[in-house]
Amino acid sequence: MPLAFSAAAADDIGARLDAGLRAGLLRNVHAVLVSRNGQLLAERYYSGVDQSWGRPLGIVTFDPTMLHDLRSVTKSIVGLLYGIALDRGIVPPPEAPLVAQFPRYPDLAADPQRSRLTVLNALNMTLGMEWDEQRPYTDPKNSEIAMESAPDRYRFILDRPIVAAPGERWIYSGGAVALLGQLIAQGSGMTLPDFARQALFAPIGIDTFEWAEGRDGVASAASGLRLRSGDLLRIGHLALAGGEWQGERIVSRTWLDASFTPIIDTDQGVKYGRLWYIGKYNASLLEPSRRWIAGFGNGGQRLYLMPERGIAAVVFCGAYDRPDQSVTPSRIWREIVLPGLN
């Protein structure tokens, strides 16, 4: 059923959020922040059961100081980091051959099919290699979990069976982003978290974060980042500002424009760019649709952006691994935030 609110609450996004939770129409919500043109319009924190990269935390009462899993919103942050690294000339460009960047696997590089893969195929998840993250992340057969358990994560990724030509089909893959994270680390001579701190976080005032590591001590580029809600909103503001922060260029507008350009259809009803989802919103049949961009994460984590209207929204939820996990953040975005700011 659609969300319905009294006219008295129609202009108050925070009140509408509270009403949605009381009515049971929004579930497992931990935090919601909404801004327009850099001005914070709504900020709400709630209590709920939470995790830290699968480790139970029990019931947590959230506030602005608390870190929260981004899960796969981490991928979109890695997309920004790759752009920064490319601007610095320390990673290969999107058209570069991918497997050749891992010379310790000459047998894989010699495979004619794998030699066709490019960095861009990793950035837009069109590697055409088998990868299964439809299984719960508690299942050892989930490809990301299997990658984390493999003796060599990069060989595990690059050696997957080929099921489609490069660029032909979108296959969701945490492995693709692990490869990009390694290219950043190789090029910068830093760990991925250290590069993130130096190149992105510190310049925009993010001084606290965590980044979960696998058994091999490598930070999970696919899902391991934990940030405070306000700091994720900062990253949204950076993107909306075309990559500048207080007059300082952090990431090129060229990279952001390319990242936010739809390249391929996903299996989630929206399109995909370079590690960002891209959708459309129609306020009414009489108005043209408006583009929105988002990072999506397991459990209902979201960073939503609508550049044309200067809107950014952060949603943190606790519906990890649930089949209905996308319902609440989508309703918040489409039925509360956008109508309230139309």
Q: What CATH number is given for 7-44+191-340 in this structure? A: 3.40.710.10
50-57: which pairs have CB atoms within 8 A and are 24 or more residues apart? 50/318, 51/299, 51/318, 51/320, 52/210, 52/212, 52/226, 53/212, 53/220, 53/223, 53/224, 53/226, 54/137, 54/138, 54/320
Specify whether the CB–CB gap between 306 and 281 falls below 8 A: yes
The CATH class for the domain spanning 78-186 reads: mainly alpha
Each domain of the chain, given as residue ranges in start order, spans 7-44+191-340, 78-186
* 330/32 Cα distance (integer angstroms): 12
* 342 residues of the chain, pLDDT tens digit each: 344 433 333 358 999 999 999 999 999 999 999 999 999 999 999 999 999 999 999 999 999 999 999 999 999 999 999 999 999 999 999 999 999 999 999 999 999 999 999 999 999 999 999 999 998 888 999 999 999 999 999 999 999 999 999 999 999 999 999 999 999 999 999 999 999 999 999 999 999 999 999 989 999 999 999 999 999 999 999 999 999 999 999 999 999 999 999 999 999 899 999 999 999 998 776 678 899 999 999 999 999 999 999 999 999 999 999 999 999 999 999 999 999 887
